Structure 1
C-alpha cells in the first residue's frame, strides 16, 4: 500500500472516460463522494439510482461545488435505475448502450442494508435481488460495451463490486446451487437483517471472482474481455448512516470513534483508487480478480469468498436465474 493517496495526483487520465456509479444519489453516501472525485478529474459520470429527485438535487450540488459548466471536462448525469426490478435493469442497460459509445468503469455500489425478509414474485429474497441479481443483470447486459471499450489501445476498463468487511461473519456455505441457497433468512440469529446484508456482500465477492474467471475464458473468442479488471473491495469504516438513526445526536459521536476515516470524502479513497488508481493500471495482474481492503491492499477475503467451487456454482445459478426471468 502507498503510504498516501491523493486523488488529484494518483488517478489515471479521466478526460473522455465514461463511468457509472450505482446508488450515488445520497449526498452523505460513499457513491456520491466517489462521483465527486471522478468528475473533478474530468470523467463523465452517471449516477444510477432509483430516486430521481434526490439524484437531481445531488447533481446540482456537485455542479455547484465543482463549478461545472457547459465547457467542463467533467460531467455528471442521472440514469434512472431501480435494482428492485431486474427486468427494468436490463432495459436501462440496453438504453444506455444505445446512447453511449463507451463505458470505462462500472462501480456496483448501491445496496439494500437493513430490511425485513421478503421475497419477490420470482421467489427470491428482495435484498438478494437488489444487492446481487440486479447488479449481475446490469453488468452482464453492459458487458458488450465494456468489452468494446477494452479493445482500445491502452484501455483501462474496470468492474468494481463494493462489498463490506461484514462478509467475514457469514457462516460457512456448503453450496450455491439453488435460489433457496441464496434466500438465507438467518432466522433466530440476533440482528438477522444484518446477517442477510453481510451474506449478499459475500455473494458479490464470489460473483466477482466468477466473473473474472469467465472473462479470462473468453480471451480467444472475444477480444478485450480478458483485459477488463474485475475487483471487489471493502470501502472502509466511514460514518454514512448515523444521521439516519433515531437520536443521531446521541449516536454520532460514539459511531465516529470506531470510524477510521475523518470524513466521507477521505473514506471513499479505496473506491476511488479501485475505479481509477494509477497503481492498478500499472500492475493489472496483481489487482484483477482481487479483493481490496480499506487500506488499498490486496488481501484475502473469507474462505467462503475464495472458494472456486462456490464461484462456479454461483455463476451457473445466476445464469439460470436470468434465463428463468427471460432476460
Structure 2
C-alpha cells in the first residue's frame, strides 16, 4: 500500500521551485545525453545547449538525431553533436564510447536518459538479453563503465572536483524487483508481463545508480537516480495500443505532463550546484529528494547486480 501511495504522490507533485532559468552558465562543459533525439532527452539537450554546454546526442537513429540537431540549432543557436549509440548491442556500445573518447578529453555530465518501455515480449537485444533490462540497465551500465576513466579525470580538473552521472529511473521501480533468471531470454522471462519487465529495469536503474555512488563517490562522481514524472513522451509508443489513436491522444493529454516539465528533475540533477551534494540520492518531480523503494538500498542485492553486470561485459 505504501508503494501505491508513493506512486500517487509522485504522479501529482507540488509546483516546481526549480526552473531552467536557474541553471548556471555551462560554457566549456561537455555533456552526453542518451536518447536525446526525442522526448525528455531532446528537451534536456535543448536547455543544456541554450546554457552553453557542448551536448552529444547519443542515440541509435541517425536520421532522427540529425533532424533533432537541426531543430535544436534553430531553437537555441547552438549545434549538438551526434554520437551513434545502440544500447541493445554491447559491441556497438563499446564502439560508441571509443568514438567519443577519440573526440573529447573531458566529460562533465553523463545523462543516462534513454529507455524503452513495454515493447513486444519477443524482442530481445542483439546479445539475447531482455530488451528492457538489456537496454535500460545493462546497456547504460556498460556505456558508463567505459566512460568512467574520462569522468574521473575530468572531476580532478574541475574547481569543485565533481562530475555528474544522472540515471533516469521511474516511479515504476516502486513495483519492481530483480529476478536474475529473467535478465536473459528464456522460459522465466517469457512468463513475465511487459510491465513486470519494465518495472524490474527501472528498479535496476536505482540499484545501479547507488552502486556507482558508493564505488566512485570518492573519485568525484555524483551519481543520482530519478523519476522524471508521468510525461507525454515517445517512451509511451508501445503502450495504449488497445485504444483508437484519437482516444489515446485525449487520454494522454489529460493525465500526462509536458516534456518541458519532465526535463526539470534531470536538469536539476545534472547542473544545479545544490545537486553536487546529492551523491547516491533519488529525486522525484520536480527536483525533490525522496526515499526510493527500500529494497533498492540493499547492499547485498546491489553487489549481486554489480557482479552480474561485470560478468556480462568482461569479454566484449
Q: 1:211 to 1:181 in 2, by over 3 A?
A: farther
Aligned residues of 1:103 and 1:146 also touching (Cα < 8 A): yes
Aligned: 1:58 with 2:58: no
Give the match for residue 297 of structure 1.
288
Aligned: 1:45 with 2:55: yes
> SS at the partner of 1:151?
helix
The alignment's C-alpha RMSD in Å is: 2.2
Among 29, 52, 58, which residue is 1:17 paired with? 29
- TM-score, normalising length from structure 2? 0.86
Q: 1:126 to 1:161 in 2, by over 3 A?
A: same
Pairwise CA distance, 1:133: 1.2
Pairwise CA distance, 1:258: 2.2
**Separation of aligned partners in 1, 2:15 and 2:40:** 21
Aligned residues of 1:22 and 1:110 also touching (Cα < 8 A): yes
Aligned residues of 1:94 and 1:142 also touching (Cα < 8 A): no
Matches within 5 A, 1:140-289: 140-152=145-157, 153-170=159-176, 172-173=177-178, 180=181, 182-183=183-184, 185=189, 187=191, 192-216=193-217, 219=218, 225=219, 227-241=220-234, 247-259=244-256, 261=257, 263-281=258-276, 284=277, 287-289=278-280
> SS at the partner of 1:304?
helix
Pairwise CA distance, 1:2: 8.9
* Partner deviation per Cα, 1:281-308 (whole Å, 9 max, x = no partner): 3xx1xx1111101121111111221211
Q: 1:17 to 1:181 in 2, by over 3 A?
A: same
Pairwise CA distance, 1:119: 4.4
- Counting matched residue pairs gives 294
* Partner deviation per Cα, 1:248-307 (whole Å, 9 max, x = no partner): 322222223322x3x2112311111111123213xx1xx111110112111111122121
- TM-score, normalising length from structure 1? 0.83
Aligned: 1:82 with 2:86: yes
* Partner deviation per Cα, 1:139-168 (whole Å, 9 max, x = no partner): 000011000110022244100110110111
> SS at the partner of 1:48?
strand
**Separation of aligned partners in 2, 1:124 and 1:151:** 36
**Separation of aligned partners in 2, 1:207 and 1:215:** 12
Aligned residues of 2:18 and 2:287 also touching (Cα < 8 A): no
Pairwise CA distance, 1:62: 0.6
Query: Which structure 2 segments of 5+ residues have no match?
Result: 1-13
Pairwise CA distance, 1:169: 1.2
Q: Which has the higher helix share?
A: 2
**Separation of aligned partners in 1, 2:183 and 2:301:** 12
Give the match for residue 130 of structure 2.
125
